[in-house]
Amino acid sequence: MPLSPPAARRHVHTRQIDCRGFQRDDGLWDIEARIVDTKTYTFPNHDRGHIAAGEALHDMWLRVTLDDDLVIREIEAVTDASPFSLCGEVTPNFQRLVGLSVGAGFTARVKKTLGGAEGCTHLVELLRPLATTAYQTLHARREEKRKAANTGERPRILDTCYALRGESPVVAREWPEFYTGPDSGRKG
């Protein structure tokens, strides 16, 4: 079901974020993300003269290469369009993320490493949907490895949303050994 009909309004700004996950032939994973901001009107810009309606105000890319443990092995950041000509100068700073694990606390560690004047607000923000895309891309592989190891380890995806809460019928069906709802024999 789509959103309800909106109030009378005028379209001013569009932000498009596109994230894609790839399995590489060498066993690693590439996650690519792109952010593009456009306006519906032309406006002056000191560094570019003007930015035409529909022309990218921001057009920025990230490619993060991960291993099966979600550790960043390589990263590439590119700024194709920005409001200031010097914006692209910050992209080498993103190399500081190599070795960082995408997992609990990732966003905080990124902000500590590349927050404020050390990074680019748009590229740093783009890392969040990139990280969730990484989880989606590697989920089947990681779940397969967890099951094959037969350690009884609780899947990390549990309790990350309403549908995957311990007492959910989805958990009862997919991971009955971790179900905590009624008739589970466990106390939540």
Cα 148 to its chain centre, rounded Å, is 27
* Cα dihedral 3/129/17/161 (nearest 10): -10
Residue 151 is predicted with a pLDDT of 79
Residue 173 is predicted with a pLDDT of 94
Hey, what are 118's tokens? 């050390």
Q: Where are the beta strands (DSSP E) in 28-180?
A: 29-39, 43-45, 49-51, 56-66, 72-81
33 burial via Cβ count (<10 Å: 0-12, 13-18, 19+): buried
Q: What is the CA radius of gyration of the chain?
A: 21
Same domain flag for 115 and 168: no
Residue 175's domain comprises 154-188
Same domain flag for 24 and 96: yes
Residue 171 is predicted with a pLDDT of 94
% of the chain exceeding 70 in pLDDT = 98
- Reply yes or no on whether the pLDDT at 111 is more than 90: yes
Number of domains in the chain: 2
Average pLDDT for the chain = 94
Same domain flag for 116 and 167: no
With respect to residue 6, please indicate whether it lies within any of the assigned structural domains. Answer: no
Closest CA to 54 of 68, 66, 43: 43
CB–CB of 44/52 below 8 Å? no
Same domain flag for 148 and 158: no
- What is the Cα–Cα distance from 81 to 170, expressed in whole angstroms? 44
pTM reported for the whole predicted model? 0.87
In Å, how far are 38, 71, 163 from 158, measured between CA atoms?
A: 37, 21, 9
Terminal-residue alpha carbon distance, the chain? 34
Hey, what are 106's tokens? 């990732």
Same domain flag for 79 and 142: yes
**Segment 167-180, tens digit of pLDDT:** 999 999 988 999 99
Same domain flag for 74 and 102: yes
With respect to residue 2, please indicate whether it lies within any of the assigned structural domains. Answer: no
